Amino acid sequence: MMRFLPIAALAMVVPTVATAAPQRIVSLNLCADELLLRLAQPGQVASVTWLARDERQSTVANLAGGIPANGGAVEEILAARPDLVIAGTYTTRTTVRLLRLAGLEVLELPPPTTLEESREAIRTVAARIGAQERGEALLLDLNEKFAGAASVQAPIRTAVIGAYGFPTGPGSLLDDLIGRAGFTNIVRVQDENREFSLEDALLLRPQALIIDAEPGGGPALASEIVHHPALRKLAADIAIVSLPSRLWTCPGPQLGTAVDVLRRAAEGIHRRQRGY
């Protein structure tokens, strides 16, 4: 069982913060994992979260092998002797607070809600770890994937169904992406005093439902909605588009993959509407 170190002792085991490119970076957040593993030089990453190795959630599982994984505990972070920690603004808050009290540099990344915020996260991490060239290459790749993403046809009315079967409104990265791929999110106003259910979404008469699931994958909470009685009655009129959340949660080239999946789905819906 791990023993917790007193705050006064923490400063004795961490290095002095430097402004040069860090050489032992630790990540405490999956999105930080993905950016770090794509941008950092070999040997520059001291530890990533255990989520980075999970192919169901991570887009860099192939890059995470062989790199020590952490569970976000302050003791294991300190044991890695990092000169930079990258964290999310809503994750491992106690660990982040203790690391800062110990004098360690922590770079926090807010969850992106737009494509531009995703680009900014790439720029921020690349600049701090001394990987500006790799960052620019990643941005160029992302921009090329989004070139011409906007649909010239009428937007398809859609509702986005998250992992627990409830629709998602505006203000998310996925909401930005679907607009670029030819969809429009019809779930705009939600009553803060109650959950906005699938039935509520269906009353808005969507042409499509985007669900957090693997295309052709196994059972999942989101994909189970296709068996909902209310939806079965409307199955002929509503297209189901499966899009796993690992493609649209974090900044990176996978966003281009997500918008490509959505664009092709939109084209298929328009073809069916035209009768061929």
In order of 41, 68, 99, the CA distances from 50 in angstroms are: 20, 9, 19
CATH of 17-145, one of 3.30.870.10, 3.40.50.1980, 3.90.1150.10, 3.40.50.280: 3.40.50.1980
**pLDDT tens profile 170-221:** 788 999 999 999 999 887 644 444 456 677 777 788 899 888 877 655 445 5
Distance CA 221, CA 228 (A): 12
Residue 211 burial (10 A CB sphere; 0-12, 13-18, 19+):
buried
157, 208 in Cβ contact below 8 A? yes
pTM assigned to the model: 0.84
Residue 114 structure tokens: 């737009």
Does domain 156-274 fall under CATH 1.20.1250.20? My reply is no
- Other beta carbons within 10 angstroms of residue 177's beta carbon come to 27
Tell me, yes or no, if the two domains 17-145 and 156-274 fold the same way. yes
**pLDDT tens profile 81-113:** 999 999 999 989 999 999 999 999 999 999 999
Facing residues of 168 across strands?
160
Domain residue ranges of the chain, discontinuous segments joined by +: 17-145, 156-274
